Structure 1
Amino acid sequence: MFVGKMNAKDILMRAVQCDQAGRILEAQHLYQDGIQILMDLVGDESDVAKKKVFYERIKEYIDRAEQIKDRVQKHVIRGELVTNKPIDDNSTGNSYQSLFGQYLNADVKEVLLEEPYLYEKYQFQNLVTFLELLVKNCRHLKYVRVVTKTDTKAPENQSNVLEQIRADMAKRNVTLSIKFEDTLHDRKIVLSNGYIIKIGRGLHFFKATNPLYSLGLCDYDFRKCLQTDVDIWRTRNFIA
């Protein structure tokens, strides 16, 4: 989704550049896009020799994409628990900044967000609030991958809203990639500086302000919360 108008050569050259710079989430995404374009070209190619060259290059890039996938997975499953913070029902003072803002720093170049539920207005608002914090705190941020479920009731609205957010992030020189996995259940935030944030309810543990126009509408430290737990894990930096 949201693939720019680039040819396979440009995409794969950019993938290699990101790979070498340690931006492996973006590299993985670009490798996959480039591979798909090459696969389409192979189907239209009648020259046997050229087909062989295509297949050799495709295998090379597939192998690299798989290596990155394994590398990311190792980062996600390994690590040590740094802190556990239980959030009580109706408690306040639990904005994203208060909970994990200290881990969002200049070393964060890439972020993986797995958030199954991005259907409702308040869920999109929570996503934007989270992205605002990333852009504000992580001055070298280049890439954010959001993995979520498809809204089966209003997929077009979901797509339109996410495209608006993607376009706005692009204006800030941050690539936002959206991936749909309808079997997704886990909720986590993986930072390229080696921290993993796991929240039982994902981004959506805030109660609505009541009345609407009261403290907490914009500053989430004033919001009452639903009961959940926040675990912060430390693993190795993506580049390490």
Structure 2
Amino acid sequence: MSNALKAKELLMRAVECDQLGRILEAQTLYTEGIAQLMQFVSGEPDDVKRKGFLTRIKEYMDRADAIKARINGKLMLGEVVSHVSIEENDTGFDYDQLFGKYMDDKTVEIMLEEPYMTQNYQYQNLVRFLELAATNCPNLKYFRLITKEYQDAKNPDQQRTNLGQIKADLDRRNVAVSIKYEDSLHDRKIYLSNGFIIKIGRGLHFYKASNPMYSIGLVNYKFRKCLQTDVDIWRNSSAAT
């Protein structure tokens, strides 16, 4: 597929997602579509045609900027609706108990900011979170993960391979996925498109390892001992789509 045709397809999907209120996915599609169109325009020898394309690109960039402003507005914290303090070695806290009730059929997009996604248990925690999303959010259409890029000298592609497997599985379930790497990321936050924002001091990774491994808590995390952390659920009424 040529850059022009690919750009057209991406931008048409971006407009459609924008109209449906799926602004996280629209932002990704606008960015990808504009990049494809820029590549095409750079090779256009006709000055008149190139000027026309640049005008269209400016229009799409304006739309993308408007989307970014909307997203920033939705990420502004409103009021705290729940606060939970988890002490060292506490048990009885799994994802469902902590914030499952805020993940519902009105959640069509999720953005997870989780800096650390490098170890096996961290990928497992991500999968457990996505299992909860698949259970509680039947209308989920888009998932964006923002994390730090990590390269192991022995397995330099392991992170992308593991996240690629998760992405492929969600794709098969008709959930579009975007994975963005930001080396400066330090915040941990979960944004739900129904207006709730979940902030966990340690992100998803506040569980201690099952010890011994084959004991109660290996599969059901409510039996796992926890690290000390705080969980705050915020509600921004203007964030509901």
Instruction: Assess, with a 3 A threshold, how the Cα gap between structure 1 residues 235 and 155 changes in structure 2: closer, same or farther.
Output: farther
Residue 125 of structure 1: CA displacement?
0.4
In 2, the alpha carbon distance for the partners of 1:191 and 1:140 equals 12
Measure how far apart 1:237 and its partner are: 5.4
* 1:237–1:193 Cα change, 3 Å: farther
Q: Distance in 1 between matches of 2:55 and 2:91?
A: 57
Structure 2: distance between partners of 1:236 and 1:162:
32
Q: In the alignment, is the contact (CA less than 8 A) between 1:24 and 1:238 conserved in 2?
A: no
Partner residue, 2:134: 135
Is 1:88 paired with 2:84? no
Displacement of 1:78 in angstroms is 3.3
Deviations 1:165-217 (A, max 9, x none): 00000111111110000000000000000000000000000000001011111
Matching residue of 1:200: 201
Is this contact kept in 2: 1:143–1:176, CA < 8 A?
Answer: yes
Q: Is the Cα–Cα contact under 8 Å of residues 105 and 139 in structure 1 kept in the other structure?
A: yes
Task: Give secondary structure in 2 for the equivalent of 1:7.
Answer: helix
Percent identity of paired positions between Structure 1 and Structure 2: 57
2:102 corresponds to: 103
Matches within 5 A, 1:1-240: 7-153=6-152, 154-236=155-237, 238=239, 240=241
- Mapped contact 1:192–1:237 kept (Cα < 8 A): no
| Contact kept in structure 1, 2:75 and 2:239, CA below 8 Å | no
After superposition, what is the alpha-carbon deviation per residue over 1:129-153, rounded to whole angstroms, capped at 9, x for unaligned? Answer: 0011101110000000000000032
Deviations 1:98-132 (A, max 9, x none): 00000000000000100000000000000000011
Q: Please report the TM-score for the alignment, with normalisation by the length of structure 1.
A: 0.95
Cα distance, 1:238 vs. partner? 4.1
| Deviates most, 132-141 or 68-77 | 68-77
2: distance between equivalents of 1:204 and 1:239?
Answer: 27
Alignment-mate amino acid for residue 36 of structure 1: A
> How far off its partner does 1:236 sit?
2.8
Moved more, 116-125 or 146-155: 146-155
Take 2:156 and 2:185, find their aligned partners in 1: how far apart are those partners? Answer: 16
Partner of 1:3: none
Check whether the contact 2:151–2:158 (CA below 8 A) recurs between aligned residues: no
Task: After superposing the two structures, state which structure 1 stretch, 98-107 or 67-76, moved more.
Answer: 67-76
SS in 2 for 1:82: strand
**Partner Cα separation in structure 1 for residue 25 and residue 81 of structure 2:** 27
Return the offset for 1:44. 0.6
Once residues 78 and 100 of structure 1 are traced to their aligned partners in structure 2, the CA distance between those partners, rounded to angstroms, is 16
Q: Does the residue aligned with 1:212 lie in a helix, a strand or coil? A: coil
Partners of 2:139 and 2:41 lie apart in 1 by: 37
SS at match of 1:55: helix
Separation in 2 of the partners of 1:129 and 1:228?
19
Aligned residues: 235
Counterpart residue identity of residue 189, structure 1: I
Question: For residues 238 and 86 of structure 1, what CA distance do their matches in structure 2 show?
Answer: 26
Task: Name the CA distance, whole Å, in 2 between partners of 1:124 and 1:43.
Answer: 40
Structure 1: gaps spanning 5 or more residues: 1-5
Distance, in Å, in 1 between the alignment partners of 2:11 and 2:39 is 15
What's the TM-score once normalised by structure 2's chain length?
0.95
